[in-house]
Amino acid sequence: MFRVCERGVLRISAWDRHRWLVHGFSTRATGDFLEWPGDSEVAGAFGASGFATATLKQVHSHVCVRAVEAWGDRRPVADAVLTDRAGVLVGVRTADCVPVLLADPVTQSVAAIHAGWRGAVAGILPNAVSALAAECGVRVPDLEAAIGPGIGPCCFEVGEDVASRFSQDAVDRGRAKPHVDLGSVLAGQLAAVGVETVHATGECTSCDLDRYFSYRAERGHTGRMLAVAGLRR
């Protein structure tokens, strides 16, 4: 379902049929995006020559913005960004929070979402789906989603204050402290709003430090991955 290209980027094999679509989730092998490189470096890392970027100042919010053009380093405060403009690479950074990409082959529009537990509780993913429908004319059943690598239920130990915010179906209470399955929470939110096609890596960033950066496992001293999507000209 997912494959790693020569740049170390995770790609969704099923999306290879979308010739108009550029997408991917970076890994350690792709590079560290803790400090933002320029547009050409981002485009080069993802094999997206000629693209410019529209990325965000992420704050674990419910806010989704639309990029009608690339804005480079003028990053708005938000946690999801969508576009239907060719040549614009929308993206979010993560290092345990879950990146989600949305693509609609009918309207040829895309979105990138940064979904940590706070964003999941705030509804950032359903908000992004609603924004695509409202601003790009997307029919939700046409949307396809890709849930990228993030901290898994094996490692996402939380306090009761966090665990109580989620459906208990997503909380494992069989250990000393609750563990939350954030990926299943997000998959459930997609299903609830009518997204029928969902691809998920199921990989834990905290478990696989050879491949991914993990804020929790590395105690805050780590890099960042980047997840991007865009439309070819």
Closest CA to 128 of 150, 170, 95, 100: 100
CA–CA separation, 226 vs 42, rounded Å? 9
> Percent of the chain beyond pLDDT 90?
97
Mapped onto helix, strand or coil, the DSSP state of residue 152 is: coil
The stretch 118-142 carries a mean pLDDT of 98
Strand 21-25 and strand 171-172: pairing?
unpaired
The stretch 8-36 carries a mean pLDDT of 96
- Give the confidence band of 213 by pLDDT, cuts at 50, 70, 90: very high
Per-residue pLDDT at 164: 96
- Give the confidence band of 233 by pLDDT, cuts at 50, 70, 90: confident
Residue 60 per-residue DSSP state = S
- Give the confidence band of 208 by pLDDT, cuts at 50, 70, 90: very high
Q: Go through 107-145 and write b for each residue having 16 or more CB atoms within 10 A of its CB, e for each that does not.
A: bbbbbbbbbbbbbbebbbbbbbbebbbebbebeeebbbb
Residue 38: Cβ within 10 Å count: 12
Check: CB of residue 203 under 8 Å from CB of residue 152: yes
CA–CA separation, 212 vs 221, rounded Å? 13
Sign of CA dihedral 219, 186, 1, 140: negative
- Give the confidence band of 160 by pLDDT, cuts at 50, 70, 90: very high
- Give the confidence band of 191 by pLDDT, cuts at 50, 70, 90: very high
Average pLDDT, the chain: 97
Per-residue pLDDT at 209: 98
